[in-house]
Amino acid sequence: MFNSHTDELDQKIKKQREELSTLQQAADSVLQILNIKKSLEQLTAGNAEIFSIVIHNGNLFTITIQLEYSPIYIGRLSSINFYGYITNFAPSLYKDNRLFSRVNYDTSGTKIDSIYLIDNIGGIRNQGYGSLIMEAFLCYVKRLHVKKVYGELSSFDTKDPFDPKNGKLLHHFYKKFGFHILPDNRIELEIE
């Protein structure tokens, strides 16, 4: 009789431990969601908007877009900037990847003619985060019906004395997205 009562109590304790573990996991999940929400609110505090959120290499990677408009030509888009953040489950505003561009208009000044890539800054190299930013940028540019994206790679980028392989990696990166590498390290992409 005593053994059966002890077994019954052991079963109740085991069940309560399992329930407690489940509740703890749920509480942890809620805290993670609240931290992510806080991070995302910080990322969009300015005039940036969330473009996409993906899980990449086990990290939550948030891509934001920031559009800037001309103070002279009211309502005319002047630049498109993308930022990438590894947000995970703790708020972090470290901009891991950034892509800055300038919008060029045709002679009438009403239609976007091309986009000049000012800078594409990578945080963590060779992990795919730069590719995610470029994919987001090109997706947005195609929505604008832009026909050409161009820019140039700096001599420091292509002849980095601290990382001699960087130039080849950059060429590979841009070629992967269909860019042509022209003389003097100019890059150009015709969009159909």
Q: How far apart are CA 192 and CA 187, in angstroms?
A: 17
User: Domains in the chain, start-ordered, CATH in brackets?
Assistant: 2-146 (3.40.630)
Cα angle 158, 65, 61; round to 5: 75
Q: According to the model, what pLDDT value does residue 91 have?
A: 45
Kindly report the number of other CB atoms within 10 A of residue 166's CB atom. 18
Question: How much is the average pLDDT of 159-175?
Answer: 74
Q: How many CA atoms lie less than 13 Å away from 83 in the CB half-sphere?
A: 19
Identify the three-state secondary structure at position 11.
helix
Contact call for residues 20 and 28 (beta carbons, < 8 A): no
Q: How far apart are CA 112 and CA 182, in angstroms?
A: 23
pTM attached to this predicted model: 0.74
* Structure confidence by residue, pLDDT tens digits, 122-155: 777 778 888 999 999 999 999 999 999 999 887 7
Q: How far apart are CA 81 and CA 61, in angstroms?
A: 16
Q: How far apart are CA 88 and CA 39, in angstroms?
A: 9
Identify the three-state secondary structure at position 110.
coil
* Structure confidence by residue, pLDDT tens digits, 74-130: 888 999 999 888 877 554 555 568 888 999 998 888 889 999 998 888 777 778 888
Q: According to the model, what pLDDT value does residue 172 have?
A: 86
Question: The tokens 């972090």 sit on which residue?
Answer: 92
Q: According to the model, what pLDDT value does residue 109 have?
A: 80
Q: According to the model, what pLDDT value does residue 62 have?
A: 85
Q: What is the mean pLDDT of the chain?
A: 82
Q: Could you give the percent of the chain with pLDDT greater than 70?
A: 79
Among 114, 181, 119, residue whose Cα is nearest residue 154: 119
